[in-house]
Amino acid sequence: MRKSSKGKAFAVILLVIAVIAGLGYVAVDGGRFKAKNIKQGLDLRGGASITYQAVGDVTEQQLEDARMKLFERVQVYSTEAQVYVEGNNRIAVDVPDVTDDTELFKNLAQVGTIEFKTQDGEVVITGSDIANAEALVDQSSVGAKSYQVKLTMNAEGQSKFAAATQANIGKPISIVYNDNVISSPTVQTAITGGEAYITGSFTLEDASELASYIRIGALPVELEAIRSTSVGAQLGAEALNKSLMAALVGFIIVIIFMIVIYRIPGLAACLALAVYTELVVLLLNVLEITLTLPGIAGIILSIGMAVDANVIIFTRIKEEILAGKPVNSAIRIGFEKAMSAILDGNITTFIAAVVLGMLGSGTVKGFAYTLGLGTLVSLFSAIVVTKYILWAFYDMGIQDAKFYSNKFTMKYLHVVENRKKFFTVSGVIIAIGIVCMAVSYKDSGKIFAYSLDFVGGTQLEVSFDKDEKLPQNKDIEKTLQDEISLASSVAKNINDNTIIIKVKDLSKDLETREKIDTVLKKAYDINPEDIQEETISATVSGEMKAAAVKAVIVAVIMMLIYIWFRFSKLSFALGSVIPLIHDVLIVLSAYAITQYTVGNTFIACLLTILGYSINATIVIFDRIRESKAAAKTSEEKIRLINECITQTFTRSINTSLTTFIMVFCLYIFGVQSIKEFTLPMMVGIVFGAYSSVCIAGTVWYVLDGKIKEKPKSKEEQKLEKKIKDSKDKILV
């Protein structure tokens, strides 16, 4: 090896270490971009969130005015509160760190008032007397551009305002919003035409804000609460700490696994994964993405995708080495051959993230954003960072094939021949699931155990002291019935220190919600900080059901179109999508059999499983596409499919295993809402790998049709038998 090449290799490794150290420093103490400055969702930070829907038809201006009204009110509770418009008739309010959500919700529900008062306190006009208020350029201003507010009174307001201004020339008339003076312009002359101009060297922002406050009083919008959530700061911090612990433990296990199984390539992948993790932290800050609990799950899952890309590459390198290629050629060819499968797999996962981002809501969007971001960064990590690190290790002198491969021997898999058995296994599981759905529907009127997201109502997640014995569910229900006549409550313990209480929709009954806190405090010494509350109206729950179905259908169709385009044959597209439908049915069966809660994260769980499943299928189909032209007979075609599945089997298992490890750690260390997400995910990962290996290839074989065979000569039969015998074992 040339010294210059060796020197460059050391430089690359040192650069990578420096980048890891540098990004690590930024993440820990990097000022604006350190990890602590990442925007945290309310489920991690604690706080309250409420979504309002306007009653009746409203204009865009009215909705914006209502938003300003709510924004002004929540500033009392937190200067970091966010108030934003959703769609064309909804306003969402997020208030971090709030301690009394009941008081907050009560104050937000009040209607705002605007009054014009004289120095003596006499009310001249109110909001009902004003037709409009708007910000305009002050044409009389000299020099720098200044703005003014134009008021337009209705007929009744015109006469009132004319009399008041006539009597108060040279005196101020104060504009009072909710008992707070927001402006006190001096009357210059009597205003009798119904139009007045408020001047005072306003900027555009100042004039627009003043006009908005005036319009708020003039055009009150009736708002109806349709969804609310409250998370105590302590519960939020606990959720964050447990999720980070899960990520750390899972990451360490994956690193050990990669180094043990893949040796030098595994070490290169681990360094690349470190760069990946720190880049994601940096980008979350730069892009100002709000990190939520499902968002952390999205990042952890995308680590599995990053591992998958590396495994595909290393498998290809290993095959080239076992075929007799020198290590440097094997590395180059391995990356080239793996590129197609890596791109296709990441694109299909990205499709799932895009669909979630477009059709999801709330925390599901947070999951979609981090999954999409993580997928893109993991792609860069695998095909760029890993590549340079691996070549650097080679140029440093680590060139022996034993550091890059092993001679693990795996018996040839007869998958296609056993397709009826696999179809039967899947059919039985799905049939059991359908029976369970029917039984559930008969008993409860619902085929699944729907959470609040899909049925509406109010849910309280109450955390008790870990050292105390949980009260009986029936005792809690009886206490609420006796104290506040809440007969419809249902209590259910979900772990050793948490009980969920489901009651009727309390969005319009804040008094009862407050009484529940008082009763729980009195009977069980529960601090309101230890209660996580969520209310969802029937309107929102119905929308979420429709959105869930729509998201799955759209994602499957988009994947079908993409695979059809990439593989140029409908049989490949259908061979990919039919296993996806299989996976959906299996996961639905798992929900029905276990009666596990189907909640807001259900759709995110389902689409993520589909993304991982189709990724594994694509890797197999990519192999089939490479060699299918050589399959001239049905027997050769079966042989080809089995060989491709056998060659990629360790990749399918290792990728599924590393992803399973990350998700399992989330399940072990995560809070209850994450457990509801991860348990079905683990089922999906297992059966997603099963469908890719055992279902996808056989479906393609059936759909692609049998190739017409010609009679074989005795010489051909002898040669075929000889080839078959030599391939009883395949190195993978």
Whether pLDDT at 721 is above 60 = no
Q: Are residues 388 and 243 in the same domain?
A: yes
Q: Are residues 92 and 130 in the same domain?
A: no
For the ranges 91-95, 248-252, 625-629, the lowest mean pLDDT is seen at: 625-629
CATH number, domain with residue 698: 1.20.1640.10
State which of 383, 403, 423 marks the end of a domain: 403
What dihedral angle (degrees, nearest 10) is formed by the CA atoms of 291, 295, 298, 300? Answer: 60
User: Which H/E stretch holds residue 136?
Assistant: strand 130-137
Over pLDDT 90: what percentage of the chain? 17
Give residue 4's pLDDT: 52
Distance CA 596, CA 477 (A): 22
Pick from 168, 232, 161, 221: which is nearest to 194 by CA? 161
For the ranges 253-262, 328-337, 388-397, 478-487, the lowest mean pLDDT is seen at: 478-487
Q: Are residues 559 and 640 in the same domain?
A: yes
Whether pLDDT at 268 is above 90 = yes
For the ranges 345-359, 391-405, 418-432, the lowest mean pLDDT is seen at: 345-359
Mean local confidence (pLDDT), 597-615: 76
Higher pLDDT, 629 or 732: 629
For the ranges 35-49, 126-140, 401-415, the lowest mean pLDDT is seen at: 35-49
3-state secondary structure of 534: strand
Higher pLDDT, 39 or 381: 381
Q: Are residues 389 and 479 in the same domain?
A: no
Whether pLDDT at 126 is above 80 = yes
Q: Are residues 356 and 385 in the same domain?
A: yes
Whether pLDDT at 677 is above 70 = yes
Q: Over the chain, what is the mean pLDDT?
A: 81
For the ranges 82-86, 96-100, 258-262, 276-280, the lowest mean pLDDT is seen at: 96-100
For residue 79, count other CB atoms closer than 10 A to its CB.
Answer: 8
Which of the 8 DSSP states describes residue 186? B
| Helices 101-109 and 60-74, axial angle in degrees (round to 10) | 140
Give residue 709's pLDDT: 43
Distance CA 580, CA 554 (A): 13
Q: Are residues 280 and 382 in the same domain?
A: yes
Whether pLDDT at 303 is above 90 = no
Mean local confidence (pLDDT), 109-126: 83
Distance CA 386, CA 398 (A): 16
Q: Are residues 46 and 79 in the same domain?
A: yes
Give residue 720's pLDDT: 52
Mean local confidence (pLDDT), 233-260: 83
Whether pLDDT at 194 is above 80 = yes
Backbone angles phi, psi at 304, to 5 degrees: -60, -35
Higher pLDDT, 676 or 574: 574
Distance CA 282, CA 679 (A): 30
Residue 666 forms part of a structural domain: yes
3-state secondary structure 329-366: HHHHHHHHHHHHHHHHHHHHHHHHHHHHHHHCCCHHHH
**Gyration radius (Cα) of the chain, Å:** 32
Residue with tokens 């290590």: 327
- If you average pLDDT over each of 287-301, 408-422, 605-619, 696-710, which comes out highest? 408-422
Whether pLDDT at 604 is above 80 = no
State which of 362, 380, 403 marks the end of a domain: 403
Give residue 726's pLDDT: 46
Residue 449 forms part of a structural domain: no
CATH number, domain with residue 527: 3.30.70
Q: What is the DSSP string of 561-589?
A: HHHHHHHS-HHHHHHHHHHHHHHHHHHHH
Q: Are residues 497 and 348 in the same domain?
A: no
| Helices 233-286 and 634-669, axial angle in degrees (round to 10) | 130
Mean local confidence (pLDDT), 226-231: 80
Bridge partners of residue 148, in order along the sequence: 136
Residue 262 forms part of a structural domain: yes
Instruction: With cut-offs at 50, 70 and 90, classify the pLDDT of residue 708.
Output: very low
Q: Are 257 and 662 in contact (CB under 8 A)?
A: no
Give residue 2's pLDDT: 43
Distance CA 468, CA 483 (A): 23
Whether pLDDT at 446 is above 70 = yes
3-state secondary structure of 399: coil
Mean local confidence (pLDDT), 194-205: 88
Give residue 77's pLDDT: 74
Backbone angles phi, psi at 40, to 5 degrees: -105, 135
What is the total count of domains within the chain? 5
**Which residues constitute the domain of residue 74?**
42-111+224-231
Segment 515-563, tens digit of pLDDT: 888 888 888 888 777 777 777 777 777 777 777 778 778 877 887 788 8
Number of H helices, E strands in the chain: 22, 19
Q: Are residues 46 and 84 in the same domain?
A: yes
Whether pLDDT at 435 is above 90 = yes
Q: Are residues 544 and 609 in the same domain?
A: yes
Please give the span between the terminal C-alpha atoms of the chain, in angstroms, as a whole number: 30
Backbone angles phi, psi at 398, to 5 degrees: -85, 85
Over pLDDT 70: what percentage of the chain? 89
Q: Are residues 204 and 333 in the same domain?
A: no
Distance CA 547, CA 359 (A): 6
Whether pLDDT at 455 is above 70 = yes
Q: Are residues 197 and 328 in the same domain?
A: no
Residue 226 Cα to chain centre, angstroms: 22
Residue 440 forms part of a structural domain: no
Residue 445 forms part of a structural domain: no
